[in-house]
Structure formats: C-alpha cells, structure tokens
C-alpha cells in the first residue's frame, strides 16, 4: 500500500481526532489511537487476502474526499421520509446527529434512543461495553473505530417491547466527503424491537460512508434489523453488522443493497448459548459497472441452534455481485440446524457473479445444507408468459421482479415490507408491476 495513500488518512485523523465526540474520555481516546495505529500498520485490505479476493478497494484508497461543500435538498429528502412512516427517528447528516430532523416521540420506561455523541452523561458505561476493540474485524473496522463521529445508541431494558420501529437515517449533504458511523444496539433479557438503518444520498454524490453496527442480544431477546442502502451510484459504502446472541434469542437481519459504485457488507452473528436462532436475508441489485459484496458468518458455538440464510442478487450490464457465506459449527455444537442459499440472476452477458458458500463443521450430530445458483432468466418461464399474451419485454420484467420478491416477502413486518417494496419498485426493471401487500 502506497505511503501517500495512507498519509491522507493520517492527516485526516490528525485533523479530526481532537474534535470527535468523546475525545475527552480517556479510554475512548486511547482506543481510537490504538485502532488508527493498527490501520496504518495493516493498510487497506487487498485481493491477496482471502476475505477480499473478489473485491478491490484500490480505487477507494486512491480517491480524494473533501469536507465542507454541502448541497441543499437533503433536509427535504429526510423530512419526506420521516413524514411517510411512523416510529422513532434518529437522523444523522454528514456523520453528525441532527436534532431538528429527528423525531423520537414518546418512549416507554427502560428504553434509551439517542446519539452516541450525547450519551457520555448518563450512558457512558453502555457505550463502553458495546463499542468494540481495536483488533476487531478487518483493518477497515479499525479505521471506523478511529474516526467514527457519531451513531445511534438503542438500549432496551428487561422485558421491554418497543411497538414502533426505530429508524436510523444516515444522509449526506457533502457530495465528496468521508463519514464514519458506529451504531450500538443492546437488548436486555426478554426485550423486543425493530431497528431500520436508511442510507440515502444525493443523486450525484461521490461520498464515502463506513458504518458499523454492533448488537448484543441477551436471553430471550428478539431484534429485527433492516439495512436499506440506497446511496448514489457514484458513492462508496462499507458496512459491518456484528451480533452476539444469548440463550433463546432471535436475530433477523435483512440487508437490501441497491446503491453505491462499490458496496461491501460484512454481517456476522455468534451464538453464545443454546437454542439461539437467526435469519440472514439479503437482496442486492447492481447495474452499469457497479460492484456489491456480501460476506456473512454464522458462528454455531453452542448446541441446538438454528440459522436460515438466503441472499438473492440481480446483476445487469457489466456489474459484479459477490457472496461469501460461512457457517461455522464448533465442536460440541450438536443439534445444529443450518441452511444457507445464494441465488444470482444475470441480466446480461457481461454481468458477473461469484458465490462461495462455506460449511466448517466440527460436530457430528448436525443438519447443515448449502447451495448456490447462477443463471439467466428461465426461457421456459418466459415462453409460458408469452403464450399468455404478454409481450417479451413485459414478461422479462415480471420474472425479474418475481425473483426479487422472494427476498422481500421474507420481511415479516408489513410496514417494513412495504417500505422495501417501494425502494425496489423505483429501481428494478419490472418493479412497477408490484402490487402493494
């Protein structure tokens, strides 16, 4: 890695570190410096590393980002989104909490929803416990830890059921800036909630966003998490979701990636006790020469846990989709029930898909299966629709949307499902054929 490319980030850290929220907190300041030293030592990941074999960050490492060139229109975009849905809203613009656009509403006792930049008073211990360590994840994770300017803190007390969803909106007004966010979600025993992360941007923004979400689910907790990435086709997006699950907990992750020239999503959950359950569901669409990469890890570390995983990708033009899903069944994790599947639809001869389902099993009494398919529109299905009087272009659109709709249908909450349906309808070929649920 060129020293000049890393020096840019050294300058950025030197300029930002003293002004970051929590800079006065000794443990956090020390942690940020440790993380940045790790990033400078390791540099950006390269395709020589197994986890990055199909994704090169060289163009991102060479890109130049600028601060302070804000454009208008972002506030109106956010207000329209907030007005269209109920729930509790935390809004971040250019990596900083915006109280004027946020709308928290009335919260039940035992629930904390606030920006981490405002949590150092009454919730510093919670932030400390969830924030992570300098050696976690890839070198990009360390860069995020070093430069994260803000993020959402969602803390649920024992037995609390939050009826309305928590919406975390991350918008940009600076079209060529780099921003880092770190979201923290704590679900104490028996609590339940739905958290939605929206990533939106201006149509021509060439910004870089890196977002890390860390979740802790205690016994019997249930969290549904939806990440909807709708950034500009010129933007860069790196995202990580890391969850730990205690006994009888349930975690559902729905990842919908529709934007960015390059998007990389690392999603992992670790079963710390028996009878945990998780659902990892994903849908991604890329066109032109865009690139999307999903890396998932499900750690079956204890007996009698269940995981269901399904990702669907649609690639058009000369785009590239990547899926790597690893299921790790540790020694002694008997009774594991794990299913993993990845399906890719190629809409052109130049579109490319790489699928790497992986099972790593060290226990005997398990039920595990995985599979992957890559193909084009089924000619028999197309012929069937043509025989029903549907013209060819329209028939293709129907089949494209039908392929995507199977992922959308796995979102159980009707309001969430409709929200994703709207995003898909505005983007996918054939999306206008969708009828509201």
Residue 237's pLDDT is what? Answer: 98
End-of-domain residue from the set 234, 254, 273: 273
> Are the C-beta atoms of 157 and 113 separated by less than 8 Å?
no
Examine residue 372 and state whether it is found in any structural domain, yes or no.
no
Looking at the domain assignment, is residue 300 inside a domain?
Answer: no
Q: How far apart are CA 1 and CA 3, in angstroms?
A: 6
Q: Give the sign of the dihedral formed by CA 125, CA 130, CA 136, CA 140.
A: negative
pLDDT of residue 203: 86
Residues 236, 103: Cα–Cα separation, whole Å: 28
Q: Are residues 78 and 197 in the same domain?
A: yes
CA distance 296 to 290: 20
pLDDT in tens, 158-185: 999 999 999 999 999 998 999 999 999 9
Answer with the one of 239, 273, 307 that is the final residue of a domain.
Answer: 273
Q: Are 144 and 116 in contact (CB under 8 A)?
A: no
Domain that holds residue 386: 379-437
Q: Distances from the Cα of 23 to the Cαs of 7, 31, 105, 113, 360, in angstroms?
A: 22, 10, 30, 21, 41
For residue 360, list its beta bridge partners: 328
| Per-residue pLDDT at 306 | 98
Distance of CA 232 to the CA centre of its chain: 16
Residue 89 is encoded by which pair of tokens?
């809203």
CB 344 within 8 A of CB 371: no
Q: What are phi and psi of 171, to 5 degrees?
A: -120, 165
The radius of gyration of the chain's CA atoms, rounded to the nearest angstrom, is 21
Show the tokens assigned to 421.
Answer: 């349906």
Domain assignment of residue 190, yes or no: yes
Dist. CA 239–CA 64, nearest whole Å: 20
End-to-end CA distance of the chain: 50
Domain membership flag for residue 164: yes
Query: How far from the centroid of its chain's Cα atoms is residue 298's Cα?
Result: 15
Query: What is the pLDDT at residue 437?
Result: 36
User: Has residue 98 been placed in a domain?
Assistant: yes
Quote the CA–CA distance of 248 and 278 in Å, as a whole number: 10
153 part of a folded domain = yes
- Give the distance between the most distant pair of CA atoms in the chain: 71
- Residue 322, burial from CB neighbour count under 10 angstroms (0-12, 13-18, 19+): buried
Rounded Cα distance between 61 and 48, Å, is 15
Residue 411, burial from CB neighbour count under 10 angstroms (0-12, 13-18, 19+): buried
18 has which bridge partners? none
Contacts of 121 (CB under 8 A, 6+ apart): none
Sign of CA dihedral 39, 41, 44, 46: negative
Chain segment 61-98, per-residue pLDDT in tens = 999 898 777 778 889 989 988 888 889 999 999 999 99
Establish if 49 belongs to a structural domain.
yes
Q: Which two tokens stand for residue 14?
A: 């030197």
The C-alpha atoms of residue 303 and residue 362 are separated, in whole angstroms, by 12
- The tally of domains found in the chain comes to 2
Phi-psi region of 220 (alpha: psi -120 to 50; beta: other; left: phi over 0): left
Task: List strand residue ranges (DSSP E) for 288-351, in order.
Answer: 291-300, 306-315, 320-329, 336-346
* Listed residue (425, 375, 382) closest to 405, CA to CA: 425
Residues 238 and 384 in one domain: no
What does the pLDDT read at residue 412? 83
Q: What is the mean pLDDT of each run of 10 residues along the chain (437 residues)?
A: 78 94 94 98 96 96 84 87 90 96 94 95 92 97 98 98 96 93 98 96 92 98 97 97 98 97 98 98 97 98 98 97 98 97 96 95 95 94 92 89 92 82 79 53
| Token pair 């029930």 in the structure block, residue | 337
Q: Tell me if residue 242 falls in helix, strand or coil.
A: strand
HSE, side-chain direction, 13 A CA sphere, residue 310: 10
Residues 124/155, Cβ–Cβ less than 8 Å: no
Report the percentage of the chain scoring pLDDT > 70: 97
Best CA proximity match to 426, nearest among 437, 415, 434, 414: 434
Give domain status of residue 115, yes or no: yes
Q: Write the CB contacts of 387 (distance below 8 Å, at least 6 apart in sequence).
A: none
Which one of 258, 273, 288 terminates a domain? 273
């Amino acid at each position: 890695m060129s020293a000049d490319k890393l020096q840019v980030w050294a300058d950025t850290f030197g300029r930002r570190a003293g002004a970051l929220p929590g800079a006065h907190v000794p443990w956090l300041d020390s942690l940020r410096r440790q993380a940045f030293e790790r990033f400078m030592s390791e540099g950006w990941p390269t395709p020589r590393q197994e986890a990055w074999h199909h994704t090169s960050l060289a163009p991102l490492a060479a890109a130049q980002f600028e601060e302070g060139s804000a454009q208008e229109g972002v506030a109106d975009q956010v207000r329209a989104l907030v007005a269209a849905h109920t729930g509790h809203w935390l809004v971040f613009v250019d990596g900083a909490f915006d109280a004027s656009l946020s709308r928290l509403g009335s919260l039940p006792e035992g629930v904390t929803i606030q920006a981490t930049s405002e949590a150092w008073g009454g919730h510093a211990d919670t932030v400390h416990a969830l924030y992570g360590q300098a050696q976690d994840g890839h070198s990009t994770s360390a860069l995020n830890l070093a430069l994260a300017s803000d993020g959402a803190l969602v803390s649920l007390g024992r037995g609390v059921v939050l009826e309305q969803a928590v919406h975390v909106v991350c918008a940009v007004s600076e079209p060529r800036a780099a921003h880092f966010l770190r979201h923290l979600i704590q679900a104490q025993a028996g609590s339940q909630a739905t958290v939605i992360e929206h990533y939106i941007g201006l149509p021509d923004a060439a910004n870089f966003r890196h977002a890390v979400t860390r979740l802790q689910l205690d016994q019997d907790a249930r969290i549904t998490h939806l990440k909807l990435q709708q950034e500009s086709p010129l933007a860069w997006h790196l995202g990580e979701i890391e969850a730990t699950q205690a006994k009888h907990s349930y975690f559902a992750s729905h990842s919908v990636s529709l934007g960015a020239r390059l998007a990389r999503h690392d999603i992992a959950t670790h079963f710390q006790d028996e009878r945990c359950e998780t659902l990892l569901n994903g849908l991604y669409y890329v066109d032109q020469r865009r690139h999307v990469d999903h890396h998932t890890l499900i750690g079956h570390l204890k007996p009698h846990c269940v995981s269901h995983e399904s990702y669907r990708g649609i690639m058009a033009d000369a785009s590239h989709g990547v899926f790597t899903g690893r299921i790790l069944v540790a020694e002694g994790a008997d009774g594991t029930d794990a299913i993993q599947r990845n399906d890719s639809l190629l809409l052109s001869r130049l579109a490319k898909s790489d699928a790497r389902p992986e099972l790593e099993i060290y226990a005997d009494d398990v039920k595990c299966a995985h599979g992957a398919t890559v193909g084009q529109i089924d000619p028999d299905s197309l012929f069937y629709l043509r025989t029903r009087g549907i013209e060819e272009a329209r028939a293709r659109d129907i089949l494209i949307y039908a392929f995507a709709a199977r992922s959308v249908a796995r979102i159980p909450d009707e309001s969430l499902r409709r929200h994703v349906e709207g995003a898909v309808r505005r983007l996918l070929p054939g999306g206008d054929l969708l009828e509201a649920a």
